[in-house]
């Protein structure tokens, strides 16, 4: 069967990456229906490649499938946003608890814990660098990578697989490049660094509180180190 019918891997990947980028930097309004004809032409791919890319994005929570046919950008209610944030908080706090428990079990030094958290520190550095250079997609990717690295640092493969497979996109905020977006990105860098600092010094409860503040989720039960 020809690639014109199946959709070549190269076309599929191009469509996936381009759409993902536009969604991450808030370039496609919520509620927009993704017409196959329009987007296959705009992205320079055949319709089968576009469909395969959209199915992948749907699995990651970036787009949603209509009741009958086609895909669209989800229009999230306040309830939806809170549910996404709370689910991410539960999983990421679980990762923080795992990291702390492992460190306590082996009597790890702060330096050893810092080494384990090195990918998170690199994600912080990347986010700050991309922000200074005005690379909007890089900022979004570094933000997402920080949270993925946090879960992976727990060393719990089941938790990591659950986190990767759950449709939990970063909650989209201000339009990339605006002054409000820049200020929000600066707050994100500061929050990420503070979370890493608390974890490195063996203060998991503080790290969880900071994470809850960062994700804008209230109502956590009292936590103690």
Give domain limits for the chain: 3-72, 78-214
- Homologous superfamily (CATH) for 78-214: GntR ligand-binding domain-like (1.20.120.530)
CB 173 within 8 A of CB 184: yes
Give the percent of the chain with pLDDT over 70. 89
At 41-72, the pLDDT tens digits run 999 999 999 999 999 999 888 899 988 789 99
CATH code for the part of the protein at 3-72: 1.10.10.10
Residues of the chain with pLDDT under 50: 1-4, 221-225
Contacts of 140 (CB under 8 A, 6+ apart): 24, 25, 170, 176
- Say what the pLDDT of residue 220 is: 52
- Position 219 scores a pLDDT of 52
3-state secondary structure of 71: strand
Q: Residue 134's beta-bridge partner residues?
A: none
Identical fold between 3-72 and 78-214: no
Residue among 20, 189, 161, 143 nearest 95 (CA): 161
Rounded to the nearest integer, the mean pLDDT of the chain is 86
User: Given strand 64-65, what is the order of strands in its sheet?
Assistant: 33-34, 71-72, 64-65
């Amino acid at each position: 069967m020809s690639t014109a019918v199946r959709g070549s891997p190269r076309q599929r990947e191009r469509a996936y990456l381009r759409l993902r980028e536009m969604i991450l930097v808030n370039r496609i309004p919520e509620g927009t229906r993704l017409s196959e004809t329009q987007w296959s032409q705009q992205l320079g791919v055949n319709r089968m490649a576009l469909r395969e890319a959209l199915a992948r994005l749907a699995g990651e929570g970036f787009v949603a499938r209509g009741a009958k046919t086609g895909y669209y950008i989800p229009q999230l209610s306040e309830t939806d946003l809170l549910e996404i944030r709370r689910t991410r908080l539960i999983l990421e706090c679980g990762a923080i608890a795992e990291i702390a428990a492992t460190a306590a079990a082996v009597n790890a030094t702060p330096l050893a814990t810092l080494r384990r958290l090195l990918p998170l520190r690199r994600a912080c550095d990347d986010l700050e660098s991309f922000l200074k250079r005005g690379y909007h997609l890089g900022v979004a990717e570094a933000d997402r990578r920080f949270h993925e690295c946090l879960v992976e640092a727990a060393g719990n493969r089941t938790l990591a697989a659950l986190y990767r497979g759950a449709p939990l996109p970063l909650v989209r905020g201000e339009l990339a490049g605006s002054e409000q977006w820049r200020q929000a990105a600066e707050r994100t860098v500061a929050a990420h660094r503070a979370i890493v600092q608390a974890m490195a010094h063996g203060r998991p409860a503080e790290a969880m509180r900071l994470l809850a503040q960062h994700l804008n989720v209230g109502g956590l039960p009292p936590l103690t180190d």
